Amino acid sequence: MIVDPERVDVRTALKRGIAELRDANVPSYTLAAELLLLHVLRRDRAWLYAHPEEIVPGLDAHRFLSLILRRAGGEPTQYITGKQEFWGLEFEVTPDVLIPRPETEHIIEVALDRLALREVRKGRPPKNAGEGLWIADIGTGSGCIAIALAKELPAAQIAATDISAAALAVARRSAARHAVNDRIHFLECNLLSDAAISEVATSLVGAQHAAPLPGNVSTVDAAHSRRFDLIVSNPPYVGRKEKETLMREVRDHEPEVALYGGEEGYELYADLIAQAARTVKSGGLLVLELGHNSLPAVQPLLDPPTWTNVGVTNDLAGIPRVIAAERA
Ligand SMILES: C[S@@+](CC[C@H](N)C(=O)[O-])C[C@H]1O[C@@H](n2cnc3c(N)ncnc32)[C@H](O)[C@@H]1O
């Protein structure tokens, strides 16, 4: 047993947890052990290092041991603790959703920059609160992108779709927790289906802050008109052929529907971009996350005359991570 639950102090428990995870080849084993101990003790990091001599209550020591063993067996820390930070906000994560990744924050940065630039180019002041904006997040998963954008743009309306009902349930809970559930319309559908667009258009008619529909446009017409100012998506983009190269934490624990885009990985982008072309307003924006090898397959899909101002943003590792384009 790595922790003697009879009488173990914080320092000893942590040291033994770290050693167990290191022996099991867990990446970032020190951080993982710390997070699990903090989770069990319901404390923060400052407390942990200020109280190394504190005795860990027996039940907590047992619980810590069982969590360390789960992590050593490959289960991601975030699925054990049930949370992950993204864009400075805490998100619920369960095995039904992809764990939000730091590189996905580039989607938020690029989207906010592009929205502001669009207003500047039109000689208008930036819509800091996203007044009148309609945004769609396709494949919302934990809801991290939709909720981060809803926080940044407190007057925008957002449609968040996912093919997984279980993922949407998690996203809905996080939206409620962050008090943005009144502005995010969650829809279970394949990418952004026509039925989903109809549903969004219907709620758009009733939405308080949305731009008014033209006077003679019925809900049915609106359902098929180009309504969105911005579409964002971090679609599944790993190739099934890469499955054996993935870390066990990802391969064995994250939902397959969130990981694999097809045999190659980039297969979903063509439909996604075609749907975006039908649903984004002229001058509206599309911002997509890319897999490490997606760019050559995706960039040609954003050609003129439909799309202009195509830009690619690298992540901190220098990998082309986000592609953005404007609807002509
Ligand atoms: C890579 S995850 C991204 C989750 C979240 N947006 C994020 O950035 O962390 C992709 C998400 O797309 C969903 N998905 C997969 N195929 C889909 C489809 N055809 N239509 C809608 N959503 C889909 C998955 O269930 C998953 O939640």
List, for residues 28-60, the tens digit of each pLDDT value: 999 999 999 999 999 999 999 999 999 999 999
Residue with the smallest CA separation from ligand 1 atom 1 is 236
Residue 232 confidence (pLDDT) above 80: yes
Q: What is the pLDDT of residue 218?
A: 36
Q: What is the pLDDT of residue 128?
A: 81
DSSP 190: S
Please tell me the distance between residue 141's alpha carbon and the centre of ligand 1 in angstroms: 5
Residue 216 confidence (pLDDT) above 60: no
Residue whose C-alpha is closest to residue 275's, from 212, 324, 222, 227: 227
Q: What is the pLDDT of residue 5?
A: 55
Q: What is the pLDDT of residue 124?
A: 85
What average pLDDT does range 65-70 have in this prediction?
98
What average pLDDT does range 255-261 have in this prediction?
98
Percent of the chain exceeding pLDDT 90 equals 84
Q: What is the pLDDT of residue 226?
A: 74
Q: What is the pLDDT of residue 294?
A: 95
Q: What is the pLDDT of residue 212?
A: 42
pTM of this structure:
0.93
Q: What is the pLDDT of residue 149?
A: 98
Verify cis geometry, omega within 30 degrees of 0, for the bond prior to 305: yes
Residue with the smallest CA separation from ligand 1 atom 24 is 258
What average pLDDT does range 119-138 have in this prediction?
89
Quick one: pLDDT band at residue 4, thresholds 50, 70, 90? Answer: low
Q: What is the pLDDT of residue 205?
A: 55
List, for residues 81-124, the tens digit of each pLDDT value: 999 999 999 999 999 999 999 999 999 999 999 999 988 888 88
Spell out the residues 6+ positions from residue 146 whose beta carbon is closer than 8 angstroms to its own: 135, 137, 140, 158, 160, 171, 175, 184
Please tell me the distance between residue 266's alpha carbon and the centre of ligand 1 in angstroms: 13
What average pLDDT does range 153-161 have in this prediction?
96
Cβ atoms within 10 A of the Cβ of 136, count?
30
DSSP code per residue over 218-267: -HHHHHTS--EEEEEE----EEGGGGGGS-HHHHTTS-HHHHEEESSS-T
Looking at every residue in the chain, the average pLDDT score rounds to: 91
Q: How many Å apart are CA 93 and CA 83, to the nearest integer?
A: 5
Q: Which of 63-67, 117-121, 167-171, 316-320 shows the lowest per-residue confidence on average (mean pLDDT)?
A: 117-121
What average pLDDT does range 11-35 have in this prediction?
97
Q: Among the atoms of ligand 1, which is closest to the Cα of residue 141?
A: 27
Q: What is the pLDDT of residue 236?
A: 98
Mutating to test ligand 1, I would choose from 140, 197, 250, 272 the residue with most ligand atoms within 8 A of its C-beta, which is: 140
